[in-house]
Structure 1
């Protein structure tokens, strides 16, 4: 008998606890006004109260609720805690409207709390037509009301443009004053010195290179680098090609469009090939080859130099 009583009371306690837990989650949907006219708006409030820490999913909303009810705006979900911090309340406001008269049932909104589904009560919206008095007199169109001019309102709206205009005018006046009173600088006549012909400077550079005796000091790479630089600089000044920036192949190609003869081209190609082998393949030419290349370079410059007319030489001598 005692065992049966204990089981009965245990069952009652579990029922009460289960009922209390299910009553913790409460969802509600209310409407601000259930009667509107065509085109008017009203608000629906969705609320959910549940234990803090629970997982909740609010109803999924589309552009329309049911039939001709259109959702105009969906506000963000607001969070609030009850007096007892164990409970949490979420609320959301929807603004709706309808464009046809009639009665529109709004189905229950469904929430999901901790995997369990909860539905609100269904709502009803009544939409009525706008009444127009058929026998009312047709009234004339009212005249346009002119708003009196207010300098204060005008300045309030247009002050940025006014300020910008003043700054622009001020800048123009400053520039006019500056250019009008700018001190005149007398132009100094440049003394043009006669430029050294490229073949003279190139031959002098070759003579200085030979005096350094670089390859005799086992500085073969430096020797060929300076030699090819002298030749590249001469070709650039004499034939107006970008020899200082070009590779050996590009220089040879560019020489096709100059008046340099084939013999000098072959000499130049030979020097460039030996120099490239030294710089990139680390070849070590024979002493005879090192002496030969500088002689060939002198010959190229002597045979391709620009010969000036005698009249120009006489004028330079007089000056």
Structure 2
């Protein structure tokens, strides 16, 4: 009897923890219309309501098939009643008349995956009543012998516009960027730790956000350098994997390093799920532990080989060449757009035949 009661108690605690975790993040969807005409834009909105901030991955354009994405808006964050509301909007449409089912959308919030409800959307044809269209007589031909002396200055105007365009955008087109390495994962982690240390800590109000950031910093560092499932693993799973790596001899992790990491992640779990608010002194000590842990792990990581460094340099050089090629293409497209616009404006003012005979021939 005692054994059964004990099992029930453990099950009840697990259910409460799971329910609290699920309720701390909520996905809300909205759409401004479920019935549109062909080519008409509708706005589809995803909102995440949460007590804390974490890394969010919204769906890509491909996940909205059979609908087409006209525009993807930037995400927006609002703080209301000590809750965070992170939203993202998409402009959708379709060019074939039919009934469509917009599939469930997947949103990843930290280590939690949320799904939206599917939506039914009707795309209708645009009704045109041709019997009510008015009929008009053909306009007579208007003949003029007027000469446009001003037109001979159009080529000089086009040349002037080209020179002005090249002068304004000369830096973007011709200036080459200096090669710069990105910060290493170790340096990024150190900078982020220093940043949250300077931001200050308040036990009652900022504990969740503080420890969520602290946990994300160390997990993200481990994700890149040690174990590629660190962000999605639980504390126990992560510690088990690190102990396995230690036993295999891949990394010489010390017991002190693992103990410090376990203590901080355990405290972060208590803050997140059990509403535990550590004192400021404890938060400072935990921050120092994470800083020491990052240093210790970085010191035992193998040094990159010369070949790896060479590949990294060549990869960055390739990116710089691609970026310059894109700038040149944009400049050519801009120039062609300017030239075509000038010809079109001249055609409207003086007639296309005159333009063709005077310029394009």
With the length of structure 1 as denominator, give the TM-score of the two structures: 0.39
Larger Rg: 1
Q: TM-score, normalised by structure 2?
A: 0.35
Higher helix share: 2
